[in-house]
Structure 1
Amino acid sequence: MFSADAFCSVNLYILIKEVSIENRRRNSTISISKCRLSLAPITEEISEDLNLPASHDLKSNSGDHPPIVEELQTEQNVNEAEATECVWKLKVYKNSFNQTLPVDELSNFQKSRQVKCDVNTTLEEQLKSSKDANKKPPSLKEKLANNHEWDILGILNLSAMNLIDTDMPLIIQAAFSENKTKCIGLILRDNNMTSDGVKTLVDALLVARTKLKYLSFSNNSKVGDVGIEHLIYLFKKKRSINFLALPNTGMTDRGVRLLADLLCEVDVDSPCPPIEKLYISFNKLITDESMVAVIQILERNRTLKVLSMEYCNFSDKVRRILREISTTNKKINLSLSD
């Protein structure tokens, strides 16, 4: 028969042996948990697996090592820190992958995936550009014959067609010939008309039955002051036009003076035309010499609502003076560039 002391020694030996076996199994499980981060046990689970309370202080065989539970806790903390870092890296990588980054930070995978799309897009653009290059712009006759805006609105838009003075008779025939009174707008911007083309149009309008309201010669840089003279003669005879666009037409200070005389009723025999919007921007030959003429228009004209003179050759001082006068007289909206 074993004595009570021997029996306790055996039980203690078995307990230590079981703890040692469980410790080795636990260390193995923790090593595996480094690969399976989501399965890393918490302190309570470790203590439960060892059949020990969480506060139990079980010593190892060597006094140089901390308690086993403390070692396991330290290992667990390391695992959790590594897991957190790995998850954070995964999230950063995922976000970086999904977001649009600068070109020098794109991954090789993204670049390779886009190569095929870029090649296809480039080929499509080249084919489209080639097709557009081979397609000839419509001639003036084709434009006049197939102009839906002209048919519906009565506005004949012939912008950017490389028109010259000799094209004007055909335009007049299409828009202002006998029994054709529906043209209320003629837009001739971005062409190559000169003062001769303007005179041809003015001569036709003086005898035509028309109610033309909108006229634009924008970006015909050779119209000049002579062309302005022809238009002023038209305005003295015809009073239907209320919109006149003359940006970048080669107008000088003399042209502004002529317009001021027209718009301020200097000629008592010719009443002021009902022009409401006048655009003469981008005429670089309009300088500070036009300040007095512009002030007269601002103070004396009764019909004008918009006067646009952006990017003319005014000094800062003159622009400031004109703005102050325009602010006082709020009937006319004056546009000047900064």
Structure 2
Amino acid sequence: MLDPKKRRQHVNGPIVHRDIRSETTRTLTKAPQSPHAEPLETGDSHLENALSPLDIRSETHQRYSTEHSGNQDAVKHKDTGLFREPFSVRRVRKSQDNKLTAMLQVRNERGRYLEEVLDDLSEFVDEIVIVDDASTDGTPDICRAYPKVVRLEVLEKPLFAEEWRLRNALWQAAAGTSPDWLLSVDADELYSAEAKKAIRALINQDHSDWIAFRFYDMWGGRTHYREDDLWGLHRRHTASLVRYMPGYPYFYPQQNHHVPRLPLPCTVLPGISTELKVQHLGWSGSLEDRVRKYLRYKRIDPHGEWGSLEHYESILDPEPRLIPWKEEQ
């Protein structure tokens, strides 16, 4: 078990950094800063640039206060703008026998990476929940073939144009299976062997509520990842694993695209940033595949309302800076 008194510790090999914020189970009074210089990623770099930790915490507080106006016992806070955890929230922190549930949103994944991802997840999670965004290529049939897929919801109409609704539908579906921890996975992400080995020790503890990893954008294959001024997700930590607490005020920002993978209120909870690695294979295909993704981004966000136009254009860079991939630490 992790020693909550130590800031740096080892879990099956890789160094783990405790994010020391507050040991109380009811009130968070410190800004959710990572022990590293880089900010915590919630799954989308554009959102990180738009909202500081204080912004996120204030928005959480305002949303919950609005929903519970008139109930003075539901929320107790000072006039500081800091989020105070409601006393009505049931905190469930188990140090053993935690159920790990992976959740994925998918659409037209046949012939890509879905089967490999589901094979990978089946090795180390207990259950898998999937929301299919109105696929037309038989993707749901692939999902049904996996015994650990305990819930598959197939939408009749796609929600891709309103991604926050799709994220929320997935969260609600996963929460309905009584999980202890939720792992938010895209259909093109593979966790390293070290990450899969360490994950049980990471969740079977009672002091931290999210776990962050290093995500690498594999480029043009699986031997190299991209690193330059616009492509550096691996230089920060991305939280993709969170303890589920019934009654906690989870919600997503109402954005059509580039929505974070975890609800915003998760960022004010205490967590752990690890050096464990995850491969993102979305850019590892052919040049033609990357061009198709570039054209899709330009079509759905032509003015850069939800993302960076410079970042979109960099997809077509003929000579990107590539670094050899090494799975071990």
Q: Please indicate the TM-score interval, normalised by the length of the shorter structure.
A: under 0.3
Of the two, which has the highest radius of gyration? 1
More strand by share: 2
TM-score (norm 2): 0.22
Give the number of the structure whose residues are more often helix, by fraction: 1
Choose between structure 1 and 2 for higher RCO, CA contacts under 8 A separated by at least 6 residues. Answer: 2
